[in-house]
Amino acid sequence: MTSRFAAVALNLTLRVWIACFLVEVLTHPDDRRFKGKAIPVRNLLIVGGLSLLFPALHLFRRRRARYPWWTDDLWLSLFWLDMAGNSFDLYDRYTHFDLIPHLHGTGASAVAIERAFGSTRRQAFLASNALHAALEAQEYATDVLFGTHNVRGWWDSAGDLLAGLLGTAIYLRTERLSRSRKRKRAAGPAALRRLEARALTDGS
């Protein structure tokens, strides 16, 4: 119960904070932190679409199950970190700060995809990095076609993609180890009961 309460509280906090980031960028579109990056459009898509992915999946599932609060929190965290980077001016103040959200975002999305769709680790790895590559291509294309300035150069995109590959490897490995430990803990009492039952049977 405590874990679930914490997950719900974190979910609400992330959603309120993301909404605040959206209000800030919509009311200050010419702020130097946001200008020339197409931030209002991107943040509007996040709040209006991608941040609602897990509520939508849960709503349209045929079989009702407990809502995946922690997975949704993980999913929301990648958007929160990206939006926080712009709001707190971290992208412009620190040249390589963007490696952190690219590493976390790609890794978190891989774990969320694996959990939500029952994908294998390989499928989640490929899907997450494919989405990441598409995002990088979109940022480069908007820079060329519409004059935005999201990409500093080829080295910036290369670094982001490498960070994404590293992030997915780390997060999926961590998820695998976590699941393995949970299975062992769950099997522990059951295995002990089987041994006790066998001892009683042998003794009789």
- The residue whose two tokens read 């990409």 is 151
Would you state the pLDDT for residue 44? 87
Beta-carbon contacts of residue 129 (< 8 Å; ≥ 6 apart)? 106, 110, 161, 164, 165, 168
For residues 145 and 139, what is the distance between their CA atoms, to the nearest angstrom? 10
Count of alpha carbons within 13 Å of 127, Cβ hemisphere only? Answer: 18
Would you state the pLDDT for residue 107? 98
Could you tell me the two tokens for 123? Answer: 């499928």
Which residue type occupies 147?
Answer: G
Could you tell me the two tokens for 10? Answer: 């974190």
For residues 119 and 179, what is the distance between their CA atoms, to the nearest angstrom? 15
DSSP state of 116: H
148-160: buried (b, 16+ CB within 10 Å) or exposed (e) per residue?
bebbeeeebbebb
Could you tell me the two tokens for 108? Answer: 């978190």
Which residue type occupies 30?
Answer: D
Enumerate residue ranges in the chain where pLDDT < 50.
203-204
pLDDT digits (tens, 9 = 90+) for 53-78: 999 999 888 777 899 999 999 999 99
Which residue type occupies 156?
Answer: D
Would you state the pLDDT for residue 194? 63
